[in-house]
Amino acid sequence: MSDKVVVGSIAGAFGVRGEVRIKSYCADPSAIADYNPLTLENGRVLTLTLLRPVKGGYAVRLSGVATKEEADALRGAELLTERERLPSLPDDEYYHADLIGLSVLDTGGEELGHVKSVQNNGADDLLEVHGPGLSTTVFVPFTKAVVPTIDLTARRIVIDPPEGLF
């Protein structure tokens, strides 16, 4: 597990005064501001000020970003915070970042692949599983019935996929 966790991403410039639109990955989207200062993957440290909700996220002002061109240059950048700043979770909840890269096995112990990403379709989360024996990625419903076991220490997930999924 990394010492930094992605809490949001920059969707691009919003207006002509250096504001950007961000997508927050926090359970309470406005809580992203509680993790200031945030860091970019390149190590640049930014302070984020929420301005207003907009479609698909928030309009924000970032420290050191004053022009539309500077804001455009940050498009797609991920906003990171220190793992220790995040609240601890109950035993049956996980940060998406902790699931990415874990091996995925079926209940018989056969390795199916690894978690490439965690997607949200609006109703439930989906584990995007990719593996050498798969022609395409497979989206596994991230429910207790389908994903009964997650072992972060062993870096593996045991799934009981619906018939025909793999």
Q: Could you report the per-residue pLDDT of 17-57, keeping only the tens digit for each?
A: 899 999 998 888 999 999 999 999 999 999 999 999 998 89
Helices (H), ranges, the chain: 68-73, 96-99
Per-residue confidence band for 70, with pLDDT thresholds at 50, 70 and 90: very high
CB 59 within 8 A of CB 19: yes
User: Given this model, what pLDDT does residue 1 score?
Assistant: 47
One CATH from 3.20.20.80, 1.25.10.10, 2.60.40.1890, 2.40.30.60 for 4-85:
2.40.30.60
Residues of the chain with CATH 2.30.30.240: 96-159
Strands in 4-13's sheet, in edge-to-edge order, are 45-46, 38-39, 78-82, 4-13, 20-24, 57-62, 48-54
SS3 142: coil
- At 119, list the tokens: 């997607």
- The CATH class of 96-159 is mainly beta
Whether the pTM exceeds 0.75: the reply is no
